[in-house]
Structure 1
């Protein structure tokens, strides 16, 4: 898992789309002299003379969550009016000091609202940045989304996060924030892909996809081997533009039906890789290449079996 995260953070640094010729909509984006235009909630925010690139007279902002609220609402944020169908490319650079406890990170989230001014009670969908980071080094957090059809505004939020339950303060720095309206030529994967998928010409086997966050995805293919035995082929993958990529899919051997199941007797067996390319949130093509001769390589069209409650498919 650690190797996957490390490789993923490198691979995704090149996932920026074509930015249109217009202004960065994030206010005071470089935080060179302050953070005018950002709304401060419960976090403590201060300007510090510590620019990411070491520029003299330029700085960054330091965000401290005094109680480790683990909330995207605690840090500085900005509400930006948005039109349905708009593609948005955002990002920020974060730094967590090595003196902070393990797991502390600076992060970014985009919250979509059905009201024009990010009014409380109208939030409909929260998307999170890729979360890759290295303590003691500036790390790039970025996120691309397409605004849903019922949305009128998007809030960009910077916050400090650690997964433990301690209420002691946590701290991170942020610099060079950006928020651009862009134009992507293809469908962009989104949370609505979560759910059940199948090949309509071969009902009886199919995929279960779970979009864990804006980057990470879990998938299991419930199929059969060439002797007719059930084959569950699963993998943790990542999202990139219109694709879900699974580099290390596997099967499990040695399991028995409960209560006879014993995890110590099971073995994870490498299987191969898979790739799903979507033309929309309801149709795509699944391609696979197995390390096992009996499965080989192939591809098939897939389509959604049914929508997932709360995650509408917006063509």
Structure 2
């Protein structure tokens, strides 16, 4: 991996926050608070869905894994982001950079696949209620979750191996606050045009395929709900899907905004803001979206608090 000048890149310089100036301090505390709330919110959902019998259903099984992936996804990015905000010249060793890139892709793809599985669960519950227990049995749910993780591992491994085997020498400045695929790829010494196209096509295909599955599921769901004779039934059915629809809109909307037009990604400051949305703000909002709009989760939380209080008194 030696280049023309004999210098092998052993670390990268992250300039994502270079233009923030005096705003870096407030941004550090803001991101730290968001990260702590994210950890707390998602960490509460996991035990709630495990302990409370009322939440032992496929929907909350998927939600538990989604919360776990969201926690790992944001942890892949935010702690390093916080360290860089405190540094005047943030650098990251190449090995850690590639590791971050691997898990960033892994958890991002897994998250999209889990959202697709959750959409299918809502489709089965509303459009095929008589066959729901058969369609969404334990084996089927475990297979969907396992496939989601497998897709993430395959995507993360493929992208990382491809980028890791490229020669890097000379240029080592990444105009971003994380080791994203395209900014790193463009620093390679080799001709990476076709590599960039492959990465873009693979990413877009995965996003589009999962998004199409989600959209088709909700097309059938909406058509079925509109046929319900009672307005109360329609309202109840829509309420069971509303949280998932909001999360899907935030996740896919922000990801498509960033990755569909990659040529502008490094030049537009607004795209960095969207990346912050996907890596920190969105994972923080998701637990609140699911809990504040869900009576079962709120009741399970109250029951858990009561148990803790009773245990502390005994």
TM normalised by structure 1 equals 0.24
Q: Choose between structure 1 and 2: higher strand proportion.
A: 1
TM normalised by structure 2 equals 0.24
Higher RCO structure, 1 or 2 (CA under 8 Å, sep 6+): 2
